A and B are shown apart, each in its own frame.
Chain A
């Protein structure tokens, strides 16, 4: 007991509801140091809400979160931000800031009240931009970049926080296939160097390939948690997503691949004019 390191994140019985709708209904999750945990589940399952909850943005109505054995309630938002960064799904308004300015903002939790970013901060920001190959945009305004370029800039900002825990909400949603592989590959590389990552990922094949553990959410509850090959079974995919799928080991990548065949029997829409047209 004494010499065992507490998990990077230990969330228990998280409960959150807005008016009558329960978004998190007793969700547990723990992530060990140096592991990448994937959150999967259909739209509205509570993936984003869960990530916002552990990032400390939501005011939870129940449950507890421990970072490295420390109760998050006892930490200031600054202390949390020095340890944990989040890559949000969308960043709709950026007030005309340039890429460099935005990435430098990631240094906020590490700077004193009246401190201006120094050379070291600029170096960290620059390194973070190089990792996502966004350094060529450093002087551009964020609102002049494409969706995928912006997404990578936001990843850089999170990296400039030098977090030990990285939360990612659909980090590949706006990216082309090459960038999807690059961004997830980068996160995986950092995880292998000791970072802990929790990522909500829609693409089941990518989730299976890059994550050590998967947590399957549905309607605010954890349906299953474990290694990808335990979680991603034909039955579970049908139950959670309503999709008939083939799960097999892809000889080219060596990891699980999921082929989505079509809506599962129980969920198939009745034959009508629309499906006939297709």
Chain B
């Protein structure tokens, strides 16, 4: 039916297409995250030369390399490395979920918290601290936060699905309402709490932090985050079509309801796991996909995996600053991401406005 066309022109486009952008972008960002991690491992109250850091990592992988001291090995293995791995995983979850939500909501202002995950996690964590439940068992705090995060998401999703007719507009509004309600619960608990020590703990949690994260935290969060990110990556093409609208996607053969449920569940589980081990870290999920979309385009087959690495870089770098700038004290990484992320984002908005492009 259709005639044969000039192949050369397409070749050029295809080469700059999905696979090339994946390999180039993935290569650059992977090198960047490795470099950031190495530098981050070397910085801290105990300064460790990067060469020693590399030797410790190689030794961990079973390769005999250069020299390092026992202390250096302990600091890296037990303190800095798990913290960085948790940070990278959290950034990955936020980046991927942010890109997913922006696609599903057809709105570049969406972030992972839009479906109540962060606020739910906050209520879970705050309740655990206020009730003194944090000492009940090891990792009680992340468990409470995770349960809160997932329950809130189910509540928001349930509201949008009431009556069998699902609506993204209702989902958005339900998210706003539930977020406000859960925020009020947190405020109420803070006001009513007599215990100053618990209050401090709550405020710390709400500001998001990665201090004293252990391999246990890695173990509970990484499987969910990697699983969620993998599922979303595999459904990236469906997400592309969903951004055009439900009718559009359906008329091109997408099982809209099923895909949306799977994508949202995967994003909620990943974000829930991230919130559980880090508290609420602002702005990563909003800004990371935004910047990457400017460079790599909106195709989610590229954007989702790149947002994973990009988010990881963002959190690892921010956390490195958080724990080194005001030594020996520590800044909260969640405060820092918003502190740096927000002005940067505003600059980006202004610049784009001038180019008469809308994201």
Say yes or no: A162 contacts B1, CB within 8 Å.
yes
Chain A residues within an 8 Å CB radius of B248? 88, 91
Q: Which of A95, A162, A190 contacts B243 (CB 8 A)?
A: A95
A97-B298, A105-B240, A108-B237 are contacts. A55–B251 as well, Cβ < 8 Å? yes
Chain A min CB distance to B140 (Å): 40
Question: What residues on A are CB-neighbors of B298 within 8 Å?
Answer: 95-97, 101
Closest to A139 in B: B13
Q: How many Å lie between the Cα of A85 and that of B9 in the bound state?
A: 26
Is there a chain B Cβ closer than 8 Å to A199's Cβ? no
Say whether B29 faces chain A, with CB atoms less than 8 Å apart.
no
B227 within 8 A of A: no
Nearest Cβ distance between residue A201 and chain B, in whole angstroms?
Answer: 19
Q: How far is the CA of A135 from the CA of B333 in the complex (A)?
A: 48
Residues of A within 8 A of B299 (CB): 97, 101
CB distance from B251 to the nearest CB of A (A): 5
B3 touches A116 (CB 8 A): no
Asked if B1 contacts A80 (CB within 8 A), the reply is: no
Q: Is B159 an interface residue (CB 8 A)?
A: no
- Please judge, given known A-B contacts A81-B253, A105-B252, A161-B252, whether A93 and B243 are in contact too, CB under 8 Å: yes
> How many Cβ-Cβ contacts under 8 Å join chain A to chain B?
117
Q: In the complex the two chains form, what is the Cα distance from A96 to B9 in whole Å?
A: 22
A-side interface residues toward B, CB under 8 Å?
A: 52, 55-57, 76-82, 85-86, 88, 91-98, 100-101, 105-106, 108-109, 111, 113-114, 116-117, 119, 122-124, 126-128, 130-131, 135, 138-139, 141, 143-144, 159, 161-162, 190, 193-195
Question: Chain B 1-41, CB within 8 Å of chain A: the 1/0 string?
Answer: 11111110111011001110000000000000000000000
8 Å CB contact of A109 from B4, B234, B253: B253
Report how far A138 CA is from B7 CA in the complex, Å.
14
Say how far A164's CB is from chain B's closest CB, in angstroms.
10
Hey, which chain B residues are within 8 Å of A100, CB to CB? 13
Q: How many residues of B contact A (CB 8 A)?
A: 40
Bits for B283-314, please: 1 = Cβ < 8 Å to A, else 0. 00000000001000111010000000000000
Distance A82 CA – B255 CA, assembled complex (angstroms) = 14
Chain A residue numbers with a CB within 8 Å of B245 are 91-93
Q: Which residue of B lies closest to A58 (CB)?
A: B247
Docked complex Cα distance between A143 and B13 (Å): 20
Which among A56, A93, A193 is the interface contact of B244 at CB below 8 angstroms? A93
Across the interface, do A123 and B10 meet the contact criterion of CB distance under 8 Å?
yes
Check B219 for interface membership: any CB of A closer than 8 A.
Answer: no
Residues of A with C-beta under 8 A to B297: 96-98, 101
Q: Which residue of B lies closest to A96 (CB)?
A: B298
Chain B's nearest CB lies how many Å from the CB of A242?
A: 30
Q: A195 CA to B2 CA in the complex, in Å?
A: 12
Give every chain A residue within 8 A of B4 (Cβ-Cβ): 123, 127
Contact partners of A55 in chain B: CB under 8 A: 251
Nearest chain-B residue to A90 (Cβ)? B245
CB distance from A191 to the nearest CB of B (A): 11
> Is B106 engaged at the interface, CB distance under 8 Å to the other chain?
yes
Known A96-B298, A123-B5; contact A109-B103, beta-carbon cutoff 8 A = no
Q: How far is the CA of A105 from the CA of B237 in the complex (A)?
A: 9
Closest 3 CB pairs of A and B: A81-B253, A109-B253, A127-B2
Residue from B4, B10, B253, B357 with most neighbouring chain A CB atoms (10 Å): B253
Alpha-carbon distance A86/B247, docked complex (angstroms): 10
Given contacts A95-B298, A108-B237, contact A130 B253 (CB under 8 A): no
B253 lies within 8 A of A78 (CB): yes
Measured CB to CB, the closest approach of chain A to B80, in angstroms, equals 37
User: A130 and B5: CB pair below 8 A?
Assistant: yes
Contact with A along B259-299 (1 / 0, CB 8 A): 00000000000000000000000000000000001000111
Cβ–Cβ contact A122 & B10, under 8 A: yes
B253 contact from A77, A95, A128, A141, Cβ within 8 A = A77
- Contact assessment for A143 and B358 in the assembled complex, using a CB-CB cutoff below 8 Å: yes
CB contacts (< 8 Å) of A193 on chain B: these are 1
A114 to chain B, nearest CB (A): 7
Which B-chain residue is minimally distant from A167 (CB atoms)? B251
Contact with A along B86-98 (1 / 0, CB 8 A): 0000000000000
Inter-chain contacts of B357 with A (CB < 8 A): 141, 144
Contact A126 B252 (CB under 8 A): no
Q: Is B180 an interface residue (CB 8 A)?
A: no
Q: How far is the CB of B253 from chain A (nearest CB, A)?
A: 3
Q: By the criterion CB–CB under 8 Å, are B293 and A96 in contact?
A: yes
B359 beta carbon closer than 8 Å to chain A: yes
Are B106 and A93 within 8 A (Cβ)?
yes
The reply to whether B251 and A57 contact each other, CB–CB distance below 8 Å, is: yes
Q: Which of A85, A127, A135, A162 contacts B251 (CB 8 A)?
A: A85
Chain B residue at minimal CB-CB distance from A100: B13
The contact of B255 among A77, A101, A122, by CB within 8 Å, is A77
Residues of A contacting B10 in the complex (Cβ-Cβ under 8 angstroms): 119, 122-123, 126
Q: Say yes or no: A52 contacts B247, CB within 8 Å.
A: yes
Tell me the minimal C-beta distance from A93 to chain B in angstroms. 5
Query: A116 and B18: CB pair below 8 A?
Result: yes
Could you tell me the distance between the alpha carbons of A78 and B238 in the complex, rounded to whole angstroms? 12
**CA gap between A146 and B254 in the complex, in Å:** 28
Q: 6 A-B Cβ contacts within 8 A?
A: A79-B253, A93-B245, A101-B297, A122-B14, A123-B7, A190-B1
B250 in the interface (beta carbon within 8 A): yes
Contact A77 B103 (CB under 8 A): no
Of the candidates B2, B5, B240, B241, the one whose C-beta lies within 8 Å of that of A159 is: B2
A94 touches B244 (CB 8 A): yes
Q: Min CB distance, B6 to chain A, in Å?
A: 7
Knowing A119-B10, A122-B13, the reply to whether A131 touches B251 (Cβ < 8 A) is: no
